[in-house]
Amino acid sequence: MILTSLIVGAGILIGGSLLARYWNSVVDWLKRAISKVQEMMQTVIYGTKVFIKKMYEAMQEISKHYTRDQQGQWHETVVTREVSEYDVPPEILAKANKTSQETDITHELELQLN
């Protein structure tokens, strides 16, 4: 799982390629989502996973945030957004087009942040 602090502390990726623009967009979106989830849940986010899914003519990006309440019970908060297929790099798009299920792209994001 991606550590939330890694996302929050992530700088903008260098470069103007579609790949760099895509990951910059994902990181910016995740920072906003993490902030809103922390505000809503009023607790620490222990982890985040990122997925992409083909939805008719668009793509849906999905982030799942994991928190624990005061009683120790785990909660999953899901945040989604729709993006154009044209904004998704071909290698990510190809993975998403192979299935109608959510495709985990957490590892790819971790590679970009390291």
Alpha-carbon gap, residue 13 to 94, rounded angstroms = 22
User: Collapsing DSSP states into helix, strand and coil, what is residue 62?
Assistant: strand
The answer to whether 52 and 102 are in contact (CB under 8 A) is: yes
Sheet (strand 74-84) strand order = 74-84, 58-68, 45-55, 103-104
For the whole prediction, is pTM greater than 0.85? no
Question: CA triplet 103, 32, 55: central angle to 5 degrees?
Answer: 30
Q: For residue range 60-104, what is the model confidence (pLDDT) as tens digits? A: 999 999 999 889 999 999 999 999 999 999 999 999 999 889 999
Closest CA to 29 of 63, 6, 75: 63
Domain ranges of the chain: 4-113
With a cut of 60, say whether residue 8 has pLDDT above it: no
Count Cβ atoms below 10 Å from residue 37 Cβ, excluding itself.
23
